[in-house]
Chain A
Amino acid sequence: MNSTLVSSSLHKDAENPTLKQALFFNYHEFSVTRYADLGEDQETEHQDDQALCITHFPNVHCALGSVRFQETRLVRIPRRFETTVDVPAFSTQLPGQEPAALVDNADNVNFVPRGVYQGQIYGMSSVSPLSGLMTDAEFQEVVETVNGYLVKAYTSTAGWNLFNSFMDIFTFQLWSNVAVKIFQSPLVALENYVYELNTSPKFQERKLQLISPRKSGYLSVC
Chain B
Amino acid sequence: MKEYGYHQAHRQYTNPGVKGTGDEKIGTNGRFSFKYFLNWFVTLDTASPGSRNYRALPKVSNYVFFFGGRLRTVSDLSSRFIVAFAVQFVPVVLFSVFEAGPLWKYGKGCRALVVLFYYSWALCMASFIKTATGDPGMLPRNLHVPSVGNNFEIPQEYHNIITLPSAHPEGRTLDVKYCTTCRIWRPPRASHCPNCDACILMHDHHCIWTNNCIGQRNYRYFLTFLAASVVCAILCIIACAIHVSKVPHINSAVVATLLIVYSALALCYPLLLLLFHIVATSSQQTTREFLKNLPSKKAIFHTLTSPETNPFDHASAVQNMLSLACQPRGVSVMSVRERHGPGDWRFLNLPQPHSFEKNLA
Which residues in A have some Cβ–Cβ distance to B below 8 Å? 21-24, 27-32, 54, 57-58, 60-66, 70, 76, 78-86, 88, 118-119, 153-158, 161-162, 165, 168-169, 172-174, 176, 185, 187-188, 214-220
Which residues in B have some Cβ–Cβ distance to A below 8 Å? 1-6, 9, 122-123, 126-127, 130, 139-140, 142-149, 155-158, 162-168, 171, 173-174, 176, 184-188, 201, 220-221, 224, 311-312, 322-323, 326-331, 333-334, 341-345, 348
Cα of A187 to Cα of B329 in the assembled complex, Å: 11
Q: Which of B165, B185, B334 contacts A22 (CB 8 A)?
A: B165
Q: Which of B148, B162, B201, B342 contacts A27 (CB 8 A)?
A: B162
Asked if B322 contacts A157 (CB within 8 A), the reply is: yes
Cα of A153 to Cα of B164 in the assembled complex, Å: 24
Task: List, in ascending order, chain B residues with CB within 8 A of A158's CB.
Answer: 328
* A85/B4 contact (C-beta < 8 A), A58-B148, A217-B140 known: no
Q: B188 to nearest A CB, angstroms? A: 7
Asked if A217 contacts B333 (CB within 8 A), the reply is: yes
- 4 extra A-B contacts, CB within 8 A, seeds A85-B168, A153-B330, A165-B326: A66-B343, A81-B167, A86-B327, A156-B327
Asked if A63 contacts B188 (CB within 8 A), the reply is: no
Asked if A172 contacts B145 (CB within 8 A), the reply is: no
Asked if B122 contacts A30 (CB within 8 A), the reply is: no
Task: List, in ascending order, chain A residues with CB within 8 A of B130's CB.
Answer: 173
Q: B192 to nearest A CB, angstroms? A: 14
Cα of A85 to Cα of B33 in the assembled complex, Å: 49
Give 7 pairs: A residue, B residue, CB < 8 Å, sorted on A: A30-B156, A30-B158, A85-B311, A118-B2, A165-B326, A214-B331, A215-B333
Q: A60 to nearest B CB, angstroms? A: 4
Which 5 pairs between the two chains have the least Cβ-Cβ distance? A63-B343, A30-B155, A172-B126, A30-B157, A65-B6
Cα of A29 to Cα of B157 in the assembled complex, Å: 8
* A54/B146 contact (C-beta < 8 A), A156-B326, A214-B333 known: yes
Q: A214 to nearest B CB, angstroms? A: 6
Task: List, in ascending order, chain A residues with CB within 8 A of B147's CB.
Answer: 54, 57-58, 118
